[in-house]
Structure 1
Amino acid sequence: MSESVIGESALPPAQGEEGHLSLALVNSAIAMPGGHTVDRLGTPAQTNQWLTERGLAPVDAGMLDMCASQLRSLREQIRSLFAARAAAVPALPAAVAAVNDAMTRVPTAPLLQWDDKSGPYRATPHPTTQIVDHALATLAADAADLLTSPDAERLTACGSPPCNRYLLRHGRRHWCSTRCGDRARAARAYARRTRPGTA
């Protein structure tokens, strides 16, 4: 792995990630200069670590390829919704449906259970078998909350290509990190120096 790949994977959270897990999810795949991508959900182990760091799964959850794939799929659907909101264009119906589907995977009321010895009781099924469903529901609900909150007005893509992260704009800042801000300023300065007719 190159130094730039390692450095980019250590980027600080983008503005707003601390308050919105869905923003952290969308930013878990990072496009970098040179065409490299760091995917923090690239393997089941990385997915487990990402979920554990956010309190969405125990350390020993034992994620499978299918689990990581489900999370990556939701990430792309939420990314699509964030892009539509930031650009003020209609969202893809499939992305809206995917978020709604993820939110409804987890029961909101304790379900009726039946034990052969003690009889009926009510309980919420718990994560041992449904960790991914709980994580998907939590992330989807957070995305829905963000998209329908006043914060949605501040949702924007990082203004330093090729970075693909999203952030909640604070003032005039349109970059997800100091590194991206420096890169954008350097590109603007280079463009001014190399413009025809400038000395």
Structure 2
Amino acid sequence: MDDTLATDTAQTALPPAPGADQYRSLDFADTAATLPAGQSYDLLATPGSAMRWLAAHDLTTPDVQLYEVCAQRMRALRAHVRVLFAARVDGTTPPEDSLRAVNEALTAVPTAPLLAWDGAQGLRRIQAHPIDRAVNHALATLAADAADLLTGPDAGILAACGSAPCDRFLIRTHGRRHWCSTRCGDRARAARAYARRSGSTG
């Protein structure tokens, strides 16, 4: 996918789902989605689009260059996070390989800010890491966020979008709402209305 197509993909993407402002891992899981009429998008499809997503979520700086191997690692972790979210929503046992993948991302880098001395600012804590490990830190942050969501107070209101074929996740904010966006909610209501009309005329 070239950058033009990646830009088109970003423009057709659904808006962030409820809860994405609280949990970056939720927005990370939702960077790929299935849309009606056999369409889909992937905001991590290219190194350039993956870098822009990381920078937009304060997980790296725009000057960091990502390579395809980095984008592949992001997509792989996303797949495992999605599996863990789905298992939590469905109340099933999560697969060992997905648990292992998230734990490996969690422990790949030191997470505690280091103590450093700066002549102008004095002692301060910094997240020091070489540029070539920037993706490791981003993945560790996302894995920690996913673990916090899955084990925290909002785990019980983690839900899957109820408007097929959408396969995004959300945090339920209003009672039983299970739609990740207004577009999906409108589609679900239209489908129900059509089913009622068809049933009454059949």
TM norm structure 1: 0.86
Q: Does 1:51 align with 2:54?
A: yes
Structure-2 residue corresponding to 1:120 = none
Indicate how the Cα distance of structure 1 residues 124 and 174 shifts in structure 2: closer, same or farther if over 3 A, else same: closer
State the 1:110 CA deviation: 7.6
Alpha carbons 2:10, 2:43 under 8 Å: kept: no
Structure-2 residue corresponding to 1:193 = 197
Q: Of the candidates 138, 154, 157, which is equivalent to residue 135 of structure 1?
A: 138
Indicate how the Cα distance of structure 1 residues 7 and 45 shifts in structure 2: closer, same or farther if over 3 A, else same: closer
Indicate how the Cα distance of structure 1 residues 6 and 75 shifts in structure 2: closer, same or farther if over 3 A, else same: closer
State the 1:184 CA deviation: 0.3
State the 1:191 CA deviation: 1.2
Q: RMSD of the TM alignment (CA)?
A: 2.0
Structure-2 residue corresponding to 1:179 = 183
Q: Structure 1: how far apart are the matches of 2:149 and 2:127?
A: 26
Q: % of aligned pairs identical?
A: 52
Q: Structure 1: how far apart are the matches of 2:149 and 2:22?
A: 10
- List aligned pairs for 1:1-40, cutoff 5 A: 8-9=12-13, 11-40=14-43
Structure-2 residue corresponding to 1:167 = 170
SS in 2 for 1:193: helix
Q: Structure 1: how far apart are the matches of 2:179 and 2:71?
A: 28
- List aligned pairs for 1:53-92, cutoff 5 A: 53-92=56-95
**Of the two, which has the highest radius of gyration?**
1
State the 1:198 CA deviation: 3.4
Alpha carbons 1:41, 1:68 under 8 Å: kept: yes
Q: Structure 2: how far apart are the matches of 1:30 and 1:124?
A: 32
Q: Structure 2: how far apart are the matches of 1:51 and 1:160?
A: 28
Q: Structure 2: how far apart are the matches of 1:194 and 1:125?
A: 62
State the 1:61 CA deviation: 0.7
Structure-2 residue corresponding to 1:114 = none
TM norm structure 2: 0.85
Give the aligned residue type for 1:187: A
Please list the CA deviations of residues 76-122 of structure 1 after superposition, one character each: whole Å capped at 9, or x if unmatched: 000000000000010011100000000000024689xxxxxxxxxxx
Where in structure 1 do 4 or more consecutive aligned residues deviate above 3 Å?
A: 4-8, 108-111
Give the aligned residue type for 2:95: L
- Structure 2 unaligned runs (5+)? 115-125
Tell me how many residue pairs correspond in the alignment: 184
State the 1:194 CA deviation: 1.5
